[in-house]
Chain A
Amino acid sequence: MVADTGRFFRAGPAARDRIAREACTPEDILFLKEEGHVPHPCSRLERRSRQFAEAERLSWANRLDYLILVPTLRCNLSCSYCQVSRASLTSTGHDWSEATLAAVLDRIDGLETKSIKVEFQGGEPTLRLDLINAVIERCRRFERSEFVVCTNLQRLDEDVLALFSRDDVYVSTSLDGAAATHLRNRTASSTATEQFLGNLRLLIDRFGIGKVSALPTVDPRSPPEPDELIDAYAGLGFNSIFLRPINFQGFARKRHPDSREQNGEWRRYYERFVRRLIERNWVDRSVVFEETYLSVCLRRVFQPGSERHVDLRSPNPVGVDYVVIDHDGTVYPTDEARMLARSGIIDLSIGTVETGWDTPARQTLDRHSTNAMDPACRQCAYQPYCGRDVIDDIARYGTIDLPRTETEFCRKHMHLFDLIFELVYSDDPAVRHSVSRWLRLPGTPTELGVTLP
């Protein structure tokens, strides 16, 4: 049973029966009171803290402080599932113009926050180091700034290294598993694969593992053995693996037509992967592997506000705290929206960097960007933990007007939260060990979830 605050308990069969018959015992009432489910009407603190706990479950985005920038669409690779519909290396008209750069810098000057995060996407953004450096230079006035360069690491010359050696610059790349898998999906030649792996190792050796994050993209029709993928990451020193199936967007839609929804097979694979992480964490306690998104969801269950994960939140306003600025200056609410437009499926742009994005398009998308009023979500125990993603619905179904329970977003998260609660109430010490580490706890509690017998 889950309250609006997200505080939950497991009711045993007898307790379920008592609650259904409205025949709670004094012990039941005391339990519910202590757990904060029955605020005392005369206690100001209990009433207000209950409201506070409910409010904690709502995301609040107010000021723009996160920019996803696409300085160029050109790329030196051609991955089978490229999500951004890349342009060839030598093509023209796929980079920011002088005017677009000037408008981006103007926007940065206008930000009202003390901190900023900028993510450079592509294409391959390091093809335009000059644009990256111009943006970074303009961000000097912020108290805190963080730059993430999403790169395929095929080219790592002196200029690129100089950029990566900055303390406020982080590198994000793709690593699909063992070298053969990575070659099949991305690099197409063993020379290019070796080049990539060599560059990745060089970065880790020189700057430490904290500098780099890597994400795999997995073909759900032939996923690698969990151990193959885990070993590929472990070998480089990575502990966090974001297990993502091919996304139904961009070129991926044409080449992988059956990737619109994941089926039971993917879910079983995902679960097998998580169980394998748990086993490995238990056998060798010196390392803690995690599936990144499972940890995000797990922390959302217990620790509201600890994550700023813009893909899973409610309300999930568009064009408020983060935007994507494309190679031609078009502004999109998310990277997925950019891909949809690029694939010619639907134009979800909300404005341009020159003219702004407080537009009717943005307001229309925003009108339904919450799970609070959705009839299916209101009946769902996981509502306080879950989010809303109108872009994902449009991407998959061309409409948001369908029962949430019939969407991939809902099925995916239903499965994740089911799995999470199964793990939370597991008696297996190996499971509790991993779950406690994923929740960043100092110790391993004997009880992660309470039970009313």
Chain B
Amino acid sequence: MIPLALQSISEAEQPFVTRLRVATGTADAADSILVAEDIDGATFAGRNGLVSISGSPAAALDGDVVLVSSGVGRVERLLRAGGLEIPTNTLLVTERCDQLCLMCSQPPKKTHHDRFALLTEAALLAEPGSLIGITGGEPTLYKAQLLDMIETVLAARSDVEFHVLTNGQHFEDADVARLAGALYDRVTWGVPLYARQAALHDRIVGKKGAFDRLQDGLAVLLSAGCRVELRTVLLSSNFTALGELARYVTTRLRFVEAWSIMQLENVGYARKRWQELYLDHSADFGPIAAALDHAHLHGVEAQLFNFPLCTVPAPYRHLARPSISDWKRKFVPECSPCAARERCCGFFEWHPDDEARSGVRPL
């Protein structure tokens, strides 16, 4: 696993955003340049003074856009540089949420620390061609700040795109004009919908009336011509309702760019409720296959996230995306002879090893 936060000591009195540079060649005002490195860590100097970072060689931090806390604290690697063809990073804008999903991978907190100014600064420093994910909590609880940040960054950076995860509970018809703006051609909204049955969806997200509110939110996104990626996490409770959901998608939600059916992540609440929630799709792929076929029949691009390739029947394998980010992805020893690893999502770092190992059939 690649660490996203490291211990640090900084001279600054306020948290600040900077880009770490090992070489001085392309430095601009926002950069901090490496001045010393030893076995304890690396020290960088920039307009906010010195910052010493431990736990990683300096070379691995080169180009990272980081948020440095004041004094003794930590650096958060907001935008990691290098590696991917499309540099992809996720910014967490709040930990508050108005839903309480049974399987939440990042359980919400009551308090909110507003970091929009710092995150905007960071996003403006993103690598060329970056895709920046926005997540929470629920980002649209701070809709005004969120949209300001998106517009500021996209107006200054024509090469950047955003993907925002939102529960779709807070869009109003009054937002249509703004969301229809040209800048939003580079924003995709990832919106979860777990069942066509309001009661079942509401129970899964832990909020009464959420399904009805979500319908209105989706109507706003439709009217604004927004790009929407619909997301459905697979659970034992909605597995058999997948067929009705597929029909709902092909009749009501034809405007979505993609429908992602996602396997559960063994972290947060899902970890505690694993036995109750987890549905082993390799035991019965039928309802998933039927949903994928129905969606594609009617021209909706359905795809699979977090489904290791070897657990998916061959005709559907091309729909399984390498969806797990590098920093939290793992393969088990049984995967080593597999020829399809490059295209495979692998497993979440925290997926139970015995479950993972017993299911693997190298391709």
Interface residues of A (CB under 8 A from B): 7, 34-36, 43-46, 48-49, 52-53, 56, 302-306, 436, 439-445, 448
Contacts and interface: CB of A to CB of B under 8 A. Distances in A.
12 contacts: A43-B215, A43-B219, A45-B222, A53-B254, A302-B297, A440-B296, A441-B297, A442-B319, A443-B292, A443-B316, A444-B293, A448-B297
Nearest to B244: A34
A49 B253 contact: yes
A45 B316 contact: no
Contact of A49 (B222, B293, B297): B222
B79 to A, nearest CB: 26
A305 B219 CA distance: 21
A443 B315 contact: yes
A52 B222 contact: yes
B37 interface: no
B357 interface: no
Given A44-B215, A45-B222, 4 more contacts: A34-B247, A305-B299, A442-B289, A443-B292
Contacts of A305: 299
B298 interface: yes
A442 B299 contact: no
A445 B294 contact: yes
A242 to B, nearest CB: 22
B221 to A, nearest CB: 10
B115 interface: no
A46 B299 CA distance: 19
A302 B298 contact: yes
A45 B293 contact: no
B252 A46 contact: yes
B252 A36 contact: yes
Contacts of B296: 439-442
A441 B293 contact: yes
Contacts of B297: 302-303, 439, 441, 445, 448
A443 B293 contact: yes
Prevailing SS type, chain A contact patch: loop
Contacts of A445: 290, 293-294, 297
Contact of B299 (A43, A302, A444): A302
A53 B250 CA distance: 10
A444 B315 CA distance: 10
A302 B250 CA distance: 10
A44 B255 CA distance: 14
Given A442-B316, A443-B293, A445-B293, A45 B252 contact: yes
Contact of A56 (B244, B254, B290, B319): B254
A69 to B, nearest CB: 32
Interface in B276-320: 289-290, 292-294, 296-299, 315-316, 318-319
A436 B316 CA distance: 13
B216 interface: yes
A442 B222 contact: no
A285 to B, nearest CB: 11
Interface residues of B, number: 28
Nearest to B173: A44
B188 to A, nearest CB: 18
B251 interface: yes
A306 B299 CA distance: 7
Contacts of B90: none
**B218, B294, B297 — which one has the most chain A CB atoms within 10 A of its CB?**
B297
A34 B241 CA distance: 14
A304 B215 contact: no
A5 to B, nearest CB: 8
A442 B293 contact: yes
Nearest to B313: A443
A151 B50 CA distance: 69
Contacts of B251: 7, 34-36, 49, 53
Interface string B231-258: 0000000000000100110011111000
Interface string B307-338: 00000000110110000000000000000000
Nearest to B254: A53
**B215, B289, B296 — which one has the most chain A CB atoms within 10 A of its CB?**
B296
B303 to A, nearest CB: 11
Given A443-B292, A443-B315, A48 B219 contact: yes
Contact of B218 (A35, A45, A441): A45
Contacts of A56: 254
Closest 5 CB pairs of A and B: A36-B251, A303-B299, A44-B219, A45-B219, A45-B215
Interface in B193-250: 215-216, 218-219, 222-223, 244, 247-248
B299 A304 contact: yes
Nearest to A450: B247
Contacts of B290: 445
B244 to A, nearest CB: 8
Contacts of B293: 436, 441-445
A52 B226 CA distance: 13
Nearest to B253: A49
B315 A48 contact: no
Nearest to B217: A45
Contacts of B299: 302-306
A306 B297 CA distance: 11
B3 to A, nearest CB: 38
Contacts of A36: 251-252
B288 to A, nearest CB: 10
B316 A49 contact: no
A302 B297 CA distance: 6
Contacts of A34: 244, 247-248, 251
A65 B30 CA distance: 43
A304 B254 CA distance: 10
B319 A303 contact: no
A445 B216 CA distance: 32
B200 to A, nearest CB: 15
Contact of B292 (A35, A436, A442): A442
A147 to B, nearest CB: 27
A308 B141 CA distance: 41
A254 to B, nearest CB: 43
